[in-house]
Amino acid sequence: VVDIRTFYKDTGMFTYDPGYTSTASCDSKITFIDGENSELRYRGYDIADLAGKHSFLDVSYLLMRGQLPTEEASKNFDLEIRHRSFLNEGIIRLFDALPDGAHPMATMGAATMALAAFYKDHLHLEDEEQFKMMRRRILAKMPTIAAMAYRNSIGTPLIYPDVDKYFTENFLYMLRAYPGGKMKYLGNGKSQEIRQVEVDALDAIFTLHADHEQNASTTTVRNVGSTEAHPYVAIASGISALWGSAHGGANEKVMDQLRMIGDVKNVPSYIAKAKDKNDPFRLMGFGHRVYKNRDPRAEALKGLQDKLREELHLDSKLLDIAAAVEEAALSDDYFKERGLYPNIDFYSGVILTALRIPIAMFTPIFVIGRTPGWLAQWSELKHDKTAKIARPRQLYTGK
Ligand code: ACO
């Protein structure tokens, strides 16, 4: 027994909890998860009653403001977001400094961090209007940052936002349009037209990613926020944490893995690889810290996948491989004993591919979806008078 008291308020005891598997870092009124019963609620609403039934912007409003907007509030919020979607030209010049082939997540982190150089909102956060304005600004600019980061990575001229378009349609437009904003190119007869079914599918995907209580990236946003750092910096830190393949980066890896498996007949050997403790290989898109049962977001995405199979011409070979992986894993004792079920990242890739979203944009899509959650959690922290700087203790084992 070691007395670790260094301060009169010390209890002389601390918990040792690597990965914080049983430590609550805060109390929160935003998102509720019941991992055993596969339940996920935003501000009391079951996500099945939100995704595809309310717009992503209304859900963002719900997360940040605590209630769904009235019709008028919804309209005003939408307009405000459209008008704040432009980036300062200084940020756009920053893209020029980054090389072709830069991963869009790297560019997004840098551009979001750089917003702190342009806006001084953090100096006026006691003013509730400035506070809300800052949140709207970040939410509005994220699709523009994401789309431009991608176009910059492939060396294509950037497309500016179109205020006549709703958030999700605008994002698809900025990602897809031909240089100059054309959606059709008569020269080769090709069309980049955006269908409503595509907008609706992506909007539902954003909603399903919108918040997930104290996951790694949200905890990062709160930790950075607790030091009184600039809000843009806190969100940029969330982007960094989300990029990792154990977290939001998994959706990109799932698609790589499904392609690597290549054929239904190869599934058993990959399942065996995932079970082999001498092999670091993990089945991407399986397992979750909180869900030891089905992930309700994955269930909702699977439903969406089934619904859109024909309409979006989903890649049936990939769907067959995914179905075979799921079936093999769910009937295997290794996965059953450990409560390893498909998570949200397992299903998003096939739909995103059908929406012609490049793989490098899968994690940026997660960022866009998660932004209102980060902002809501960051706001809750800022309004919490009892909040303290995040500063865990350690168990020293050195000399
Ligand atoms: N494939 C094979 N085995 C797995 C997998 C997997 N995907 N996930 C966990 N396991 C095994 C572990 O090897 C471990 O086995 P052991 O008890 O014999 O040592 C056991 O299941 C528990 O795994 P932990 O890593 O301790 O669980 P933890 O809660 O720390 O990790 C995580 C959760 C990171 C999500 C993990 O399941 C994983 O790496 N999954 C693959 C990556 C992924 O899909 N990430 C996305 C998560 S969802 C999201 O962030 C949006």
The interface predicted TM-score of the complex, written ipTM, equals 0.96
C-beta of 65 in contact with ligand 1 (< 6 A): no
Place of tokens 């958030």: 167
Is 285 near ligand 1, meaning CB less than 6 Å away? yes
- Residue 42 β-bridge partners: 31, 45
Catalytic residue among 54, 345, 383, 384: 345
Q: What percent of the chain has pLDDT over 70?
A: 99
Tell me the pLDDT band of 15, cut-offs 50, 70 and 90. Answer: confident
Question: 345 an active-site residue?
Answer: yes
Lowest mean pLDDT among 11-15, 108-112, 338-342: 11-15
Question: Which residue, judged by its Cα, is nearest atom 20 of ligand 1?
Answer: 338
pLDDT at 379: 97
pLDDT recorded at residue 354: 87
The secondary structure of residue 74, as a DSSP letter, is: H
Cβ–Cβ < 8 Å for 62, 74: no
Is residue 222 within 8 Å of 25, Cβ to Cβ? yes
CA of 341 from ligand 1 middle (Å) equals 10
* Closest by Cα among 175, 150, 152 to 161: 175
Q: Is 246 close to ligand 1, i.e. is its CB under 6 Å away?
A: yes
Atom 24 of ligand 1, nearest CA residue:
289
Check pocket membership of 344 for ligand 1, CB cut-off 6 A: yes
Beta bridge partners of 237: none
Q: Which atom of ligand 1 is nearest to the CA of 285?
A: 44
pLDDT of residue 195: 94
Does the pLDDT value for residue 4 go beyond 70?
Answer: no
CA distances (Å), origin 258, targets 188, 247, 251, 375? 32, 18, 11, 33
Task: Round the average pLDDT of the chain to a whole number and report it.
Answer: 93
Q: How many CA atoms lie within 13 A of 387 on its CB side?
A: 21
Q: Which residue has the higher pLDDT, 166 or 306?
A: 166
Confidence at residue 1, expressed as pLDDT on a 0 to 100 scale: 53
Report CA dihedral (240, 245, 250, 252) to the nearest 10 degrees.
Answer: 80
Burial 152-166 (b: 16+ CB within 10 A, else e): bbeeeebbebeeebe
DSSP 66: S
CB-ligand 1 contact for 103 (6 Å cutoff)? no
Strands in 45-46's sheet, in edge-to-edge order, are 31-34, 39-42, 45-46
Task: pLDDT band for 350, please (50, 70, 90 cuts).
Answer: confident
**Cα 280 to ligand 1 centre (Å):** 11
pLDDT, mean of residues 5-24 = 85
210 pLDDT band, cuts 50/70/90, is very high
Give the confidence band of 392 by pLDDT, cuts at 50, 70, 90: very high
2 pLDDT band (50/70/90 cuts)?
low
Amino acid at 155: G
The answer to whether residue 310 scores a pLDDT higher than 90 is no
pLDDT surpasses 80 at 39: yes
Structure tokens at 238: 């969330």
The C-alpha atoms of residue 82 and residue 85 are separated, in whole angstroms, by 5
User: CA 85, 125, 137: angle at the middle one, nearest 5?
Assistant: 5
Q: With bands split at pLDDT 50, 70 and 90, how would you rate the model's confidence at 269?
A: very high
Q: Say if residue 263 is exposed, middle or buried (CB neighbours under 10 Å; 0-12, 13-18, 19+).
A: exposed
Average pLDDT estimate for 68-74 = 98
d(CA 87, CA 77): 18
What is the predicted pLDDT for the residue at 162? Answer: 97
For residue 120, pLDDT over 90 is answered with no
